[in-house]
Structure 1
Amino acid sequence: MSLGLLAGCQVRPLYGSLNGQHHSVSVSPADSRAEQTVRNELVLGFGGERANADYRLDLKVTSSVGGILPGGIDNEFSAGRATVTAIYALKSAATGETVASGSRFADAQLDLPSQHFAQERAKLEAVDRAAHSVAALVMADIAAALDR
């Protein structure tokens, strides 16, 4: 019975060889820390930097951190949420035609301790976690677009 279930499974690279062709993707330069994190994840996922890639991924990433769950005597926030949003367009390097475009976002929760440095560090780490999640979502979108 289990062999029958496994018969439908296929193991294929996430974005790689489709119909014998290997598709390479270059990612636009980053302008912020969150964008650099997303870019790094995508470049690694696409197999590294390519000088003459088949596709160009234009990427714009924004991040924000807001307080949630006010509490305590002064009604200060004790927890927060980091949100990272990526807007992307995958274009053919040869024609400039847009192959896929969209936006993805991810949230990461964080505790806001009373110490200022600890708060700033918690915010950075939460943005990094959300950026990694966004990169995975964008990577899946690109893989689906290249598989068509």
Structure 2
Amino acid sequence: MSSRDPIDRRRVLTRALGLLGLGAAAPLLAACSNVRPLYGSLDGTGGPAAKMTHIDLALADSRVSQRVRNELIFAFYGGGEPEKPAYRLNLRITDSSLPLGIERLETTPSAYLVQLNASFVLVDMASDKTILTGTSFANVSYDFSQQRFANVRAQRDAENRAANQIAVDIRTKIAAYFATHG
């Protein structure tokens, strides 16, 4: 095999281009030094996750609101109540159910859409000032059948899935706030 082999030249050229690409990417990677974890911290203080353990949630006024509240309690501090609440989270949740599809030969819906809309306000309890407001929504569908109990369970399951989506979204927004505002 001689050094003038075309396969050998391609390997050398490919290797050289790869090294050149790595050399060009190094400054770009160095510019990404502002990347940090959302729920943790680089200095070991816990970051946003530690601050979220001090959020007290207002009482709920409906089953779906209670489900969102329970999901947030579990996400913030694993259950129970916060030890030293420094923040209060007020939730307002509205829900509706809309028919999606209509059976061709009947006038009964074949599927429904559960819509949950949530607005939240995070208040600093020491100063009684609003530090964060936001909204979230979730749309979840479920099939409608001729069985009454199955329909009730399907709607409740859809509401629970929507409540979980809203809780995850609210938690992410609060964590992002604490990550950027210390």
Stretches (4+) displaced over 6 A: none
SS of equivalent to 2:74: helix
Identity of aligned residues (%): 29
Tell me what 1:25 maps to.
55
| 8 A contact 1:99–1:145 mirrored in 2 | no
User: Greater CA deviation, 79-88 or 21-30?
Assistant: 21-30
| 8 A contact 2:39–2:175 mirrored in 1 | no
Distance 1:98 1:131 in 2: 24
Tell me what 1:85 maps to.
117
**Rg larger in structure:** 2
- Structure number with greater CO (CA < 8 Å, separation at least 6) is 1
- Note the aligned Cα RMSD (angstroms): 2.6
1:12 Cα deviation from its structure 2 partner: 5.0
Distance 1:111 1:22 in 2: 41
User: Greater CA deviation, 62-71 or 127-136?
Assistant: 62-71
Instruction: Note closer, same or farther for the CA distance 1:14–1:29 as it changes in structure 2 (3 Å cut).
Output: farther
Distance 2:107 2:121 in 1: 42
Distance 2:50 2:113 in 1: 39
Report which of the two has the higher share of helix.
Answer: 2
| 8 A contact 1:65–1:80 mirrored in 2 | yes
Q: Choose the corresponding residue for 1:94, options 126, 133, 156.
A: 126
Size of the aligned set, in residue pairs, is 146
1:123 matched to 2:155: yes
Tell me what 2:164 maps to.
132
TM-score, normalization: structure 2? 0.71
Tell me what 2:7 maps to.
none
Matches within 5 A, 1:1-148: 10-11=36-37, 13=39, 17-18=46-47, 22-23=50-51, 24-47=54-77, 48=79, 49-147=81-179, 148=181
Distance 1:33 1:73 in 2: 35
